[in-house]
């Protein structure tokens, strides 16, 4: 007689499947992973994963949503830890880096892997948006406090792009011969911040680079 699965049994299997999938997606990419491979690692029938997820895209969307959720929790805690906009921005930036370096598989899944139809996954959309707001909101707070005068949308995305680039270089092992990571991060943020304290003239901005207001 087949075992009757409890809610805990189902939750435990889904969690283990997601753990295995996270590691394999990060290592082999989306196309390099099959449902049969996941079943083999878990020691179950190739059909078993389909009892818990619609298909491989559903698994990827689920693990990406979980990664974004954990990421957003970390950023949210950092944002709530200070009322000073400049200090809050530094703490959010530091928490971003610490999460990424401590969770390289989750970070790669969040930003390097994507299946277009996966964004129809409601949980993934929600958690990705929640994380994104903490990343870019810091520049808006700096602008409201009068600490920067440049377009906060441009500044926020520039800060995000800069930190993401550093993290990718670090995770790829390409910074061994370069400057110290923390020194480079500090100076990159200082350069962006210093530039953001000067409002660029409209005439100096390329038309395609002007932010929509």
Q: What is the pLDDT of residues 104-152, one digit of tens each?
A: 999 999 988 766 666 678 899 999 999 988 888 999 999 999 999 999 9
pLDDT at 5: 67
46 in a structural domain = yes
pLDDT at 118: 62
88 in a structural domain = yes
Q: Which residue numbers in the chain have pLDDT < 70?
A: 1-5, 114-119, 200-213
Supply the CATH number for residue 153's domain: 1.10.357.10
Between the alpha carbon of residue 85 and those of residues 144, 172, 187, the distances in Å are: 9, 32, 19
Nearest residue to 193 via CA among 83, 89, 84, 81: 89
pLDDT at 1: 45
Assign residue 28 a region: left if phi > 0, alpha if psi is -120 to 50, beta otherwise? alpha
Task: Establish how many alpha carbons lie within 13 A of residue 121's alpha carbon, considering only the half-sphere containing its beta carbon.
Answer: 25
Parent domain of 44: 7-200
pLDDT at 201: 60
Query: How many structural domains compose the chain?
Result: 1
pLDDT at 213: 41
Instruction: Determine contact, residues 67/103, Cβ cutoff 8 Å.
Output: yes
Nearest residue to 141 via CA among 208, 93, 187, 71: 93
């Amino acid at each position: 007689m087949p075992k009757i699965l409890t809610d805990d049994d189902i939750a435990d299997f889904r969690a283990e499947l997601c753990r295995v999938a996270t590691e394999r997606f990060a290592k082999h990419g989306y196309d390099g992973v099959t449902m049969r491979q996941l079943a083999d690692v878990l020691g179950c029938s190739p059909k078993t994963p389909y009892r818990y997820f619609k298909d491989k895209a559903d698994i990827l969307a689920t693990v990406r949503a979980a990664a974004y959720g954990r990421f957003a929790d970390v950023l949210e805690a950092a944002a709530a830890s200070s009322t000073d906009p400049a200090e809050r921005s530094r703490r959010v930036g530091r928490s971003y880096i610490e999460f990424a370096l401590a969770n390289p598989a989750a970070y790669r899944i969040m930003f390097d892997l994507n299946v277009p139809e996966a964004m129809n996954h409601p949980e993934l959309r929600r958690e990705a948006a929640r994380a994104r707001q903490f990343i870019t909101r810091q520049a808006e707070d700096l602008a409201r406090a009068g600490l920067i005068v440049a377009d906060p949308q441009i500044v926020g995305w520039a800060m995000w792009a800069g930190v993401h680039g550093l993290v990718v270089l670090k995770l790829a092992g390409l910074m061994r011969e370069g400057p110290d990571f923390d020194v480079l991060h500090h100076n990159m943020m200082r350069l962006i911040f210093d530039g953001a304290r000067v409002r660029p003239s409209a005439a100096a901005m390329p038309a395609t680079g002007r932010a929509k207001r």
